[in-house]
Amino acid sequence: MADSTTVNESGCYTEHGVSGYGVAAKLSRKELMNESFVKNMAELMMVSIAEKCMELGARCIGHIKSHIRTDAGTIKADTIGASHGSYSKGHLTKPVTDVFIAINSIVQGIPEDAVKAATLEGMHEISEQRGLSVVKEKEHTYFDEFDFVASKQDYIKQLEEQLQQDDDETTTSGDG
């Protein structure tokens, strides 16, 4: 019994102790956000999530990455650990007030619930610091570059529909 508790507490419920979590969200800001602002926000978010995972006992960060879609272009940001900093690339053709972001965190040494908590806390904390509201959020499955071959309009529509399902479910269940 003690051995299995130790294993579960260290996040080793999979063969290699790797846990992941993904979230999709719509973030909005009253003031326009230019490319530099969005890249900086995304980079800060990636590092914040990594730091929070390490504070919760992660042994290493596999990869924390985000993909941001707007009606003016796409930004991607990622980190492999807070000590490594973060990197972003992409381009926006004009400032925007809304961004759709998908974040995936892959971490070794803490359970999925801890990865989820760190990911959501990092996203909300940086959003608040930068003056953004998290309008909607929903758990999201893991993504890679192949998930983003659709046009930006199709992807934004897909995310909006996914987030709208939450509103519809809340309304029909009587919670909203």
Each residue's pLDDT tens digit, 20-34: 899 999 999 999 999
Over 70: is that where the pLDDT of 167 sits?
Answer: no
Lowest mean pLDDT among 53-57, 108-112, 129-133, 163-167: 163-167
Q: What is the pLDDT of residue 17?
A: 79
Lowest mean pLDDT among 8-12, 18-22, 41-45, 171-175: 8-12
Query: CA-CA distances (angstroms) from residue 30 to 17, 96, 98, 132, 158?
Result: 41, 9, 9, 8, 23
- Tokens for 5? 């508790």
Q: Is the pTM of this model over 0.85?
A: no
Whether the Cβ atoms of residue 137 and residue 23 lie closer than 8 Å to each other: yes
Over 70: is that where the pLDDT of 13 sits?
Answer: no
With CA atoms as reference, report the closest residue to 87 among 58, 50, 124, 118. Answer: 50
pLDDT in tens, 121-162: 999 999 999 999 999 999 876 554 434 445 556 656 666 676
Task: Out of 1.10.1060.10, 2.60.40.10, 3.40.630.40, 3.30.70.360, select the CATH number for domain 2-173.
Answer: 3.30.70.360
Residue ranges of the domains in the chain? 2-173
Over 70: is that where the pLDDT of 61 sits?
Answer: yes
pLDDT in tens, 73-103: 999 999 999 999 999 999 999 999 999 999 9
Neighbouring residues of 66: CB distance < 8 A, sequence distance ≥ 6: 42, 45, 46, 76, 77, 78, 101, 102, 103, 104
- Beta-strand pair 18-33/87-92: unpaired
